[in-house]
Copies of this chain bind each other. A is one copy, B any other.
Amino acid sequence: MPEFQQVAIVGVGLIGGSIGLAALKRKVAAQVIGIGRSEEKLARAKRIGCITEGTTDWQAGIRGADLVCICSPVESIVSWVEKMVPFCQPGTVITDAGSTKQTIVETLHLSESVRGRKDVYFVGSHPMAGSDKTGSENATADLFQKRVTIVTPAPESDRTAVAKVGEFWKSLGSHVVEMSPHQHDLSVASTSHLPHVIASLLAASTPESLLPLTSSGWADTTRVAAGDVELWRQILTTNRGHVLQALGNFEKLLAAFRSSLESGRDEQWIKLLEQGKHHRDIVGS
């Protein structure tokens, strides 16, 4: 019997669609209700098998859900949770897939709406998987497989709800790691947000006339720069301080690289290449 009777997904794009696809394929959920604004996109997601039903009426969509997963852009997650909580059935667990956590968790902790319901639970999460592509048509059932999902409870979070959210991601194939929202934002600034910034700047710095001469290495290194700019604006503004900190680490190495390449102290920059290879080899393909 599936672990969840009904999972509701807000925003059936690449991430939401992949969650639905994986949950249905792995029989983690009996039903997956897609909530969105476009009938057409919901119909497409249903046709692909990401959801069993789609609705533009969110109140109807969350009725009867034991788990709600909000896969909308980070800046809209708080308002989704706030407006949904009063309409949830007792026992509903709400989670999200947003790339930053501290602002979301802290804001909801202080929210009147959320504090008003002791029988509805929000636990933030962040699957460390994605793509520069968008839309349920690019969803894949194995997107979360062998990828880390970070679950970020607050100190006061209901432990049963935290466990339920962790179980959900594990059922989709993820390795689940638990950490505080602050620790999450600090960590992903280095492992996800900085790579996006660097890839974008590298692509931006390549003269347009030379783009026909780019190598497969350029293509790999800049791949994520094709991602949606508005989504990334929201991520970077909600994690500004930590991104600047991660950028600082990178700038230090860059300055050391430049000065040693410039002055012929070759052993110094070669050490940096070796350090990079060492880290890359640890992660593997």
**Chain B residues whose C-beta falls within 8 Å of the C-beta of A251 in the assembled complex:** 254, 258
**Chain B residues whose C-beta falls within 8 Å of the C-beta of A128 in the assembled complex:** 213-216
**Chain B residues whose C-beta falls within 8 Å of the C-beta of A229 in the assembled complex:** 270, 273-274, 277
Interface residues of A in 207-257 (CB under 8 A from B): 207-208, 210-227, 229, 232-233, 236-237, 240, 243-244, 246-247, 249-254, 257
Asked, given contacts A191-B214, A253-B205, A258-B251, whether A199 binds B221 with beta carbons under 8 Å apart, the answer is yes
Residue of B nearest to A131 (CB): B216
Check B201–A218 contact: CB distance below 8 A.
no
Does A177 lie at the interface of the complex (its beta carbon under 8 Å from any beta carbon of B)?
A: yes
Check A202–B195 contact: CB distance below 8 A.
yes
Residue of B nearest to A228 (CB): B277
Check B282–A225 contact: CB distance below 8 A.
no
Task: A220 to B191: give the CA distance in the assembly, Å.
Answer: 12
- Protomer copies: 2
**Chain B residues whose C-beta falls within 8 Å of the C-beta of A199 in the assembled complex:** 217, 220-221, 276
Minimum C-beta distance from A206 to chain B (A): 5
**Chain B residues whose C-beta falls within 8 Å of the C-beta of A221 in the assembled complex:** 195-196, 198-199, 220-224
Scan A92-127; emit 1 where CB is below 8 A from any B CB, else 0.
000000000000000000000000000000000000
Check B188–A213 contact: CB distance below 8 A.
yes
Asked, given contacts A210-B187, A221-B199, whether A261 binds B279 with beta carbons under 8 Å apart, the answer is no
Query: What are 23 A-B contacts defined by CB distance under 8 Å?
Result: A130-B215, A130-B217, A131-B216, A148-B212, A150-B213, A177-B212, A190-B206, A190-B207, A191-B215, A195-B217, A195-B222, A199-B220, A200-B277, A201-B250, A201-B257, A201-B276, A205-B252, A214-B283, A219-B285, A223-B280, A232-B273, A240-B261, A247-B258
